[in-house]
Amino acid sequence: MGPRRALAYAQRNRPRFVEELKEFVRFPSVSSQPHHARDVRRCAAWLAAQLRRIGLDGVQSIATRGHPIVYGAWTRAPDKPTLLIYGHYDVQPADPEEEWESPPFAPAIRGNDLFGRGACDDKGQLLAQVKALECWLKTAGALPLNVRCLFEGEEEMGGGPNFAAFVGQNRRALRADAAVMSDTRMLGPNRPALTYAQRGMVRFALEVFGPREDLHSGNFGGAVMNPVQALCQILNGMHSSDGRVAIPGFYDRVRAWSERERAFMARSGPRDEEILRDAGVKAGWGEQGFTLYERLTLRPALTLNGISGGYTGPGLKASIPAKASARVSIRTVPDQQAREVEEMVRKHVEKLTPPGVTVRLRLLGSSEPAVVDRGHPALRAASAAYRLGFGVRPVLLRSGGSIPAVSLFREELGIPTSLMGFALPTDRIHAANERFHLPNFYRGIDTCIWNLTAAAALLRRGRSTDRAARATPR
Amino acid sequence: MGPRRALAYAQRNRPRFVEELKEFVRFPSVSSQPHHARDVRRCAAWLAAQLRRIGLDGVQSIATRGHPIVYGAWTRAPDKPTLLIYGHYDVQPADPEEEWESPPFAPAIRGNDLFGRGACDDKGQLLAQVKALECWLKTAGALPLNVRCLFEGEEEMGGGPNFAAFVGQNRRALRADAAVMSDTRMLGPNRPALTYAQRGMVRFALEVFGPREDLHSGNFGGAVMNPVQALCQILNGMHSSDGRVAIPGFYDRVRAWSERERAFMARSGPRDEEILRDAGVKAGWGEQGFTLYERLTLRPALTLNGISGGYTGPGLKASIPAKASARVSIRTVPDQQAREVEEMVRKHVEKLTPPGVTVRLRLLGSSEPAVVDRGHPALRAASAAYRLGFGVRPVLLRSGGSIPAVSLFREELGIPTSLMGFALPTDRIHAANERFHLPNFYRGIDTCIWNLTAAAALLRRGRSTDRAARATPR
């Protein structure tokens, strides 16, 4: 029995699926903002109810020290391989809210796009995977292979410890032969992409403290070190003028890739002008000797995500502020190690700190980079599914982003992840007016339906279906 | 008739004066925040009512393009000199509000201090001058000399154009022989100070624009110039590593003072350790070869008053922000000129701006530095008044601050200003928990009472009392 009936069911139910996605987006499940903790919980409960309704077993919203993990499985085919489906139901903060054309948590359809925070990242893409399961279960009464759904509520916090601890503690109960997630980008509406590499991330909060309290800049300006000035000095010392990261030792472990790999990337990946167009800038920047695509994927990067200190509102506050702070994230690549990078940053910041201020550097989270063999059966299955769902062969891409689950699944479960994204470069994820292109939602569901068939055929069944496979994680 | 009865009246009425100061502080007259415009107007009306009540003539709250100017005069002694009393009833913004122990606009007395935004800067000091007039008028029925009160509502905006235009247009009607204001610091509770020099100020808003909108830092980090990074680079380029301002030509016009003047300053001014203690820092910073007091007064300084860009709230927003901005103020000294300094800054910023971003530099306001001859009769009168009011001779100090009215009065009215301040270094002006030391309010009133007598005796009557002197400004 092929997926024909599942695909027909998908087509018939599109309007309802969109309504359900709108329900999902309506929860302001901003994991990083404590005042939204209840919204995150309510969103998890909604998602668990979804999984129950489509017919998964053992569905639960599992409490952690942070936000809940939503789990559900269908493991009734002991002779078939097992696929772990990952996604995250939490979202980025919505600010600056005033830049949204419609409120971030009041999903609105304009043209072919559904607007709302999380519409694309990752609620819409996650739901495409869930709806594919529904289409199978409601038409065939079964899935072509075993499936475990594992949906996180802390992904946008950037590698929080709770999800990692949970996976580590439930290695046996989570056994699978491969993982799949939809949380990455295509190149354009008809140009699907399968992502086989991710950068890691090491994130810091950097605070600079000067005088006990804000000082009048007339009475003290010129005789007291200013924390904003010290912060600018430190942050300016993070890069050298050639666009490279200036932290000593930073590039020591960065892998040099073969000319063959770079040639593959040049053929398959976006050209400089496409990246600049997507970014909305005229000129590129960064390390010489690499294409922009290489700078974003093969090469590490240090980004200043935010800075604040003193007063920048209307009018004047003529003060030397008592403190200033910044957020810094580093995207790492093989074979850099988060732990080592953290140490290098600490030493460098210490060296750059001028007298008269003190500095606090806090590690906010980290994840390691990950690369999946392009020839792995999970990726071949996903590629076949894209050809059937979108009508074209996907390009195999590296991503500059970081999804901690990818390296986590490799390290803890020993499985690769195929990154089947349905986001467009223009979907403005993490920005105001985030949107999800609804045709990608529909074709995404079809592609996920096909992926279950293809993965059932291509994945080798490992230990995923032994006794432990029927266990439920706790 | 001496000031004895006026002084007795002052002592009797202290509790009421404090209540009136609390009323005054209750107005959130934050001139730089547009949403407080109505509060500023209401505060001006309250102040005008005060002036009427104490017996001044021609009292009016004069509308400008910005906030009102409050005027009132007593010019019934044609054979006496005229004193222009200046002050400002507007205040700094109160933020960060969460750092206040009691709400900034709910004045509260703890110990000997009245807490509230503007309690010291400048409402309490301004009111000391007004109450001195009341004490004379309510006891003697006259003042020992002619007086014009001119109270501004835009001082904390840092040299706005409206007050300057008003003074320029009313040169004749504002004729006086000297000006006095109370808006500067003493060295300590029993160490009064008379300020004879002020720095000028040139203030800018600097904005850096990068991508059209915030970008995902995974997808674009390492290939696109980051406005926060560009801003840090530009701001870091404002100083050289030796603590000097790195803008070419910046020091060309800075006056070299005589060894005699520097020796006078060393004798009379605060020592390095006092300045560090007041600032609450362990080590000083800045230009080598000068004491901290000299760095704050004889030497110019560039201060980064604020910076913002991207997200620094709880959790993570992994973005390259679309823009970043900063506030920069430069304190100038003789013989620097605001206009020239502005041009130098523009050129320097342009030179420091990296490719891939655009920069907007907006001049927010400027005022010129001012120095008053220490032997001028107005300063001798003030010095005598301090001796009588505080029981000790005041030190003659330079201030690092900038009160645009001082250079304005010199340029437009041709008169010097004596800066009779009653603020303590610990009064936290411009910071959270601003306070006014009430014993300084009481002794300040006494000192102002004495100053009217002394100025009447010492000031030479100029053209201030000719026909024009009875005119009223418009």
CA-based nearest distance A330→chain B, Å: 9
**Structural domain includes residue A270:** no
The reply to whether residue A307 touches residue B305, judged by beta carbons under 8 angstroms, is: no
Which pTM was predicted?
0.85
Residues A402 and A304 in one domain: no
Residues B168 and B156 in one domain: yes
Residues B339 and B398 in one domain: no
* pLDDT digits (tens), chain B, 474 positions: 579 999 999 999 999 999 999 999 999 999 989 999 999 999 999 999 999 999 999 999 999 999 999 999 999 999 999 999 999 999 999 988 899 999 999 999 999 999 999 999 999 999 999 999 999 999 999 999 999 999 999 998 865 679 999 999 999 999 999 999 999 989 888 999 999 999 999 999 999 999 988 898 888 999 999 999 999 999 999 999 999 999 999 999 999 999 999 999 999 999 999 999 988 899 999 999 999 999 999 999 999 999 999 988 776 678 899 999 999 999 999 999 999 999 999 999 999 999 999 999 999 988 899 999 999 999 999 999 999 999 999 999 999 998 889 999 999 999 999 999 999 988 998 889 999 999 999 999 999 999 999 999 999 877 554 444 445 666
The reply to whether residue A215 touches residue B321, judged by beta carbons under 8 angstroms, is: no
CA-based nearest distance B118→chain A, Å: 13
Do residues B153 and B129 make contact, with C-beta atoms less than 8 angstroms apart? no
The candidate with the shortest Cα–Cα distance to A184, out of A79, A296, A80, is A296
CA-based nearest distance A96→chain B, Å: 9
The candidate with the shortest Cα–Cα distance to A147, out of A385, A451, A350, is A451
Give, in degrees to the nearest 5, the angle at Cα A171 between A65 and A179.
Answer: 100
Residues B381 and B405 in one domain: yes
Nearest-angstrom CA–CA distance, B76 and A329: 70
Residues A146 and A242 in one domain: no
Nearest Cα residue in chain A from B426: A215
The reply to whether residue A364 touches residue B316, judged by beta carbons under 8 angstroms, is: yes
Residues of chain A neighbouring B425 (CB-CB closer than 8 A)? 219
Give, in degrees to the nearest 5, the angle at Cα A258 between A257 and A260.
Answer: 130
User: Of the candidates A312, A336, A367, which is a domain's last residue?
Assistant: A367
**Structural domain includes residue A280:** no
Q: What is the pLDDT of residue B466?
A: 45
Nearest-angstrom CA–CA distance, B143 and B125: 20
Q: Assess whether the previous peptide bond of B96 is cis (omega < 30° from 0).
A: yes
**Structural domain includes residue B268:** no
**Best of A278, A293, A307 to disrupt the B interface by mutation (most B CBs within 10 Å)?**
A307
The reply to whether residue A316 touches residue B158, judged by beta carbons under 8 angstroms, is: yes
Closest CB to B279 among A215, A279, A316: A215
Both structure tokens of B296: 């704050």
Nearest Cα residue in chain B from A219: B400
Q: What is the pLDDT of residue A70?
A: 98
Q: What is the pLDDT of residue B2?
A: 73
What's chain A's Rg over C-alpha atoms? 23
CA-based nearest distance B450→chain A, Å: 28
Do residues B317 and B311 make contact, with C-beta atoms less than 8 angstroms apart? yes
DSSP characters over A133-147: HHHHHHHHSS-SSEE
Q: Scanning the structure block, which residue is given the tokens 């080598």?
A: B288
Please name the helix (run of DSSP H) or strand (run of DSSP E) that holds residue A436, with its range, or none.
strand A435-437
Reduced to 3 states (helix: H, G, I; strand: E, B; else coil), residue A186 is: coil
Q: What is the pLDDT of residue B318?
A: 82
Q: Scanning the structure block, which residue is given the tokens 């010095």?
A: B383
Q: Assess whether the previous peptide bond of B373 is cis (omega < 30° from 0).
A: no
The reply to whether residue B429 touches residue A229, judged by beta carbons under 8 angstroms, is: no
| Backbone torsion region of residue B109, taken as left when φ is above 0, otherwise alpha when ψ lies between -120 and 50, otherwise beta | beta
Q: What is the pLDDT of residue A467?
A: 46
Residues B234 and B168 in one domain: no
Residues B92 and B13 in one domain: yes
Do residues A73 and A60 make contact, with C-beta atoms less than 8 angstroms apart? no
Nearest-angstrom CA–CA distance, A60 and A43: 13
The reply to whether residue A157 touches residue B432, judged by beta carbons under 8 angstroms, is: no
Residues of chain B neighbouring A239 (CB-CB closer than 8 A)? 229
User: Of the candidates B318, B339, B367, which is a domain's last residue?
Assistant: B367
Return the bridge partners of A324, or none: A208, A309
Both structure tokens of B1: 């008739």
DSSP characters over A187-232: SBTTB-EEEEEE-EEEEEEEEEE-SSS-EEHHHHTTTS--HHHHHH
Say which residues have a Cβ less than 8 Å from residue B198's Cβ, sequence separation at least 6: B369, B370, B371, B398, B399, B401, B402, B403, B406, B407, B419
The reply to whether residue A312 touches residue B311, judged by beta carbons under 8 angstroms, is: no
Do residues B380 and B178 make contact, with C-beta atoms less than 8 angstroms apart? no
Both structure tokens of B307: 């910076």
Residues A82 and A138 in one domain: yes
Q: Scanning the structure block, which residue is given the tokens 């008169």?
A: B415
Do residues A409 and A370 make contact, with C-beta atoms less than 8 angstroms apart? no
Q: What is the pLDDT of residue A466?
A: 45
List the domain range (segments joined by +) for residue B361: 205-258+298-367
State the CATH number of the domain containing residue A33.
3.40.630.10
Closest CB to A32 among B210, B314, B429: B314
Nearest-angstrom CA–CA distance, B311 and B314: 9
The reply to whether residue B280 touches residue A212, judged by beta carbons under 8 angstroms, is: yes
CA-based nearest distance B201→chain A, Å: 9
Q: What is the pLDDT of residue A8?
A: 97
Nearest Cα residue in chain B from A292: B223
Residues B117 and B216 in one domain: no
**Structural domain includes residue A144:** yes
* Low-confidence residues in chain A, pLDDT < 70: 1, 158-160, 315-316, 463-474
Q: Assess whether the previous peptide bond of B90 is cis (omega < 30° from 0).
A: no
The reply to whether residue A355 touches residue B283, judged by beta carbons under 8 angstroms, is: yes
**Structural domain includes residue A282:** no
Query: CA quadruple A149, A155, A156, A157: dihedral positive or negative?
Result: positive
Return the bridge partners of B419, or none: B181, B195
What angle in degrees, to the nearest 10, is found between the helix axes of A338-352 and A227-236? 130
Do residues A192 and A386 make contact, with C-beta atoms less than 8 angstroms apart? yes
Q: B200: burial class by Cβ within 10 Å (0-12, 13-18, 19+)?
A: buried
Return the bridge partners of A306, or none: A327, B310
State the CATH number of the domain containing residue A232.
3.30.70.360
Closest CB to B280 among A211, A216, A315: A211
**Structural domain includes residue A348:** yes
Nearest Cα residue in chain B from A315: B32
Residues A36 and A150 in one domain: yes
Residues A339 and A383 in one domain: no
CA-based nearest distance A115→chain B, Å: 16
Say which residues have a Cβ less than 8 Å from residue A273's Cβ, sequence separation at least 6: none
Q: What is the pLDDT of residue B470?
A: 47
**Structural domain includes residue B350:** yes
Q: How many domains are contained in chain A? A: 2
Q: What is the pLDDT of residue A468?
A: 42
Q: Assess whether the previous peptide bond of A57 is cis (omega < 30° from 0).
A: no
Nearest-angstrom CA–CA distance, A6 and A140: 8
